[in-house]
């Protein structure tokens, strides 16, 4: 949810999420919605990218862009992926490194490293990954189309890109913005700008323009006890792309 590129995300976004870093790993704190959603979204990704590993017979290299304090990065490492968590917030990266130092990954987990920096820096280094994830990030960038090009550039041919975000619907405005921030107070006020939410067809078009083909999409809905996948993409959804 935090900064991924020095040109596409504002300093205001870096500061906002940096202030939350010390409480990021508190399951009852301001990042509680991400804690609740994390098992669903990371498992959804794992199930869809696993065939890449079956073909290559080696650990997949996964880049988790906008990793914050590493909720998804740690989960992906536990699946056995070789993970690089990238975020431009020094506070977020510090919290991520502190957490894994305090709570080491179990035996059998993949390598996990963190980097404070931008996606452009990795592109300049000509780095590519088997899988690139941007979970709850694109709605915070200033140029979503440019961001999709960055994701594609960081993915090897035949690799996969996963993006999760929120749909720009009146229902999402009522539930994910007004309800979550101002009524239920599940998120700090100002976390989201509804005008930056992205419709699935818009995301698919941005992907095509960047050389990515959307291969799967699912809604993410909260029930009284847990998050689950659904056909309803009117609020939260997650999409998988393949790079040609």
Is residue 16 part of an annotated ligand binding site? no
Please tell me the distance from the alpha carbon of residue 49 to that of residue 22, in angstroms, as a whole number: 31
Is residue 158 part of an annotated ligand binding site? no
Sheet of 61-65, strand order: 112-116, 82-87, 61-65, 129-135, 155-166, 236-243, 212-222, 227-230
Among 112, 109, 234, residue whose Cα is nearest residue 168? 234
Alpha carbon 216 to its chain centroid, in Å, reads 16
Please tell me the distance from the alpha carbon of residue 72 to that of residue 42, in angstroms, as a whole number: 6
Among 232, 233, 229, residue whose Cα is nearest residue 48? 229
Q: Which residues are annotated as a binding site?
A: 41, 66, 87, 135
Residue list for the binding site for S-adenosyl-L-methionine:
41, 66, 87, 135
């Amino acid at each position: 949810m935090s900064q991924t590129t020095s040109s596409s995300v504002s300093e205001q976004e870096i500061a906002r999420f940096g202030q939350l870093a010390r409480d990021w790993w508190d399951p009852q704190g301001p990042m509680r919605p991400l804690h609740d959603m994390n098992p669903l979204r990371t498992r959804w990704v794992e199930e869809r990218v696993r065939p890449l590993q079956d073909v290559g017979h080696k650990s997949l290299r996964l880049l988790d862009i906008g990793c914050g304090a590493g909720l998804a990065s740690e989960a992906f490492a536990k699946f056995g992926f070789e993970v690089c968590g990238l975020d431009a917030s020094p506070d977020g990266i510090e919290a991520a490194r502190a957490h894994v130092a305090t709570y080491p990954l179990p035996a059998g987990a993949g390598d996990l490293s963190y980097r404070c920096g931008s996606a452009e820096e990795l592109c300049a280094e000509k780095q590519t990954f088997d899988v690139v994830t941007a979970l709850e990030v694109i709605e915070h960038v200033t140029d979503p189309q440019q961001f999709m090009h960055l994701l594609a550039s960081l993915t090897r041919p035949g690799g996969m890109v996963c993006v999760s975000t929120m749909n720009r619907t009146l229902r999402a405005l009522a539930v994910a913005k007004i309800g979550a921030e101002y009524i239920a107070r599940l998120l700090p006020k100002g976390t989201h700008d509804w005008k930056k939410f992205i419709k699935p067809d818009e995301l698919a078009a941005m992907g095509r323009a960047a050389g990515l083909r959307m291969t799967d999409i699912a809604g993410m809905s909260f029930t009284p006890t847990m998050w689950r996948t659904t056909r309803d993409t009117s609020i939260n959804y997650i999409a998988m792309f393949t790079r040609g």
